[in-house]
Amino acid sequence: MEIFKYKKPLSLMEKSKRFGIFSIVLLLLSLGLILTKGFNLGVDFAGGTLIQVKYEGAAPIQKVREAISVDKTYEGASVTRFGGDDEIVIKTKTSSQVLGEDVGKKMNSLLKNTGTFEVRRVDMIGAKVGSELREKGLMAMLLAIIGILMYVSFRFEWRFAIASVLALVHDVTIAMGMIVLFSVEVNLDILAALLTILGYSLNDTIIVFDRIREGIRTIKDPDLGKIIDESVTRTLSRTTLTSLTTFFVVLTLFVFGGEIIHGFAFTLLVGVVVGTYSSIFVASPVLMWLGFSVSDYRLKEAEKLKRQKEKDKMRAQYENGTL
| Interface with another protein in residues 219-248 (CB under 8 A) | 234-235, 237-238, 241-242, 244-246, 248
Closest CA to 267 of 212, 196, 320, 170: 196
Q: How far is the CB of 211 from another protein (least distance, A)?
A: 7
139 near another protein (CB under 8 A): yes
Among 9, 20, 60, 104, binds another protein (CB under 8 A): 104
Judged by beta carbon, residue 69 or residue 242, the one nearer another protein is: 242
By CB under 8 A, which span of 33-41, 66-74, 205-213, 290-298 interacts with another protein? 205-213
45-84: contacts with another protein (CB under 8 A)? 52, 54
Are 274 and 174 contacting, i.e. CB atoms less than 8 angstroms apart? yes
183 near another protein, rule: CB under 8 A: no
How far apart are CB 57 and another protein at their closest, in Å? 16
**Contact with another protein (CB under 8 A) among 40, 69, 73, 108:** 108
The window from 29-37, 73-81, 123-131, 290-298 that contacts another protein (CB under 8 A) reads: 123-131
Site stretch for another protein (CB under 8 A), options 13-21, 27-35, 144-152, 306-314: 144-152
Q: Is 9 in the site for another protein (CB under 8 A)?
A: no
The answer to whether residue 125 forms part of the interface with another protein (CB under 8 A) is yes
The minimum distance between CB 215 and another protein, in angstroms, equals: 12
What distance in Å separates the CA atoms of residue 259 and residue 261, rounded to the nearest whole number?
6
CB of 25 to another protein, least distance (A): 28
Count the residues of the shown chain that bind another protein, applying the rule CB under 8 A: 76
Q: How far is the CB of 187 from another protein (least distance, A)?
A: 9
Q: What is the largest CA-CA distance in the chain?
A: 98
- Residue 202 lies near another protein (rule: CB under 8 A): yes
Angle at 146 between CA 144 and CA 152, to 5 degrees: 100
Show contacts with another protein in window 256-285 (CB under 8 A): 256-258, 260-261, 264-265, 268
Give me the least distance between CB of 227 and another protein, in Å please. Answer: 16
For the bound state, the minimum distance from the C-beta of residue 264 to another protein, rounded and expressed in Å, comes to: 6
Within residues 83-102, the interface with another protein by CB under 8 A covers: 95, 97, 102
Among 61, 133, 273, 290, binds another protein (CB under 8 A): 133
Beta bridge partners of 180: none
Q: Is 210 in the site for another protein (CB under 8 A)?
A: yes
Annotate the chain with three-state secondary structure: CCCCCCCCCCCCHHHHHHHHHHHHHHHHHHHHHHHHCCCEECHHHHCEEEEEEEECCCCCHHHHHHHHHCCHHHCCCEEEECCCCCEEEEEECCCHHHCCCCHHHHHHHHCCCCCCEEEEEEEEECHHHHHHHHHHHHHHHHHHHHHHHHHHHHHCCHHHHHHHHHHHHHHHHHHHHHHHHCCCEECHHHHHHHHHHHHHHHHHHHHHHHHHHHHHHHCCCCCHHHHHHHHHHHHHHHHHHHHHHHHHHHHHHHHHCCHHHHHHHHHHHHHHHHHHHHHHHCHHHHHHHCCCCHHHHHHHHHHHHHHHHHHHHHHHHHHHCCC
Residues 34, 188, 273, 288: which binds another protein (CB under 8 A)?
Answer: 188
Query: According to CB under 8 A, which one of 13, 250, 274, 286 is a site residue for another protein?
Result: 250
- Ramachandran quadrant class, 166 (left: phi over 0; alpha: psi -120 to 50; beta: rest): alpha
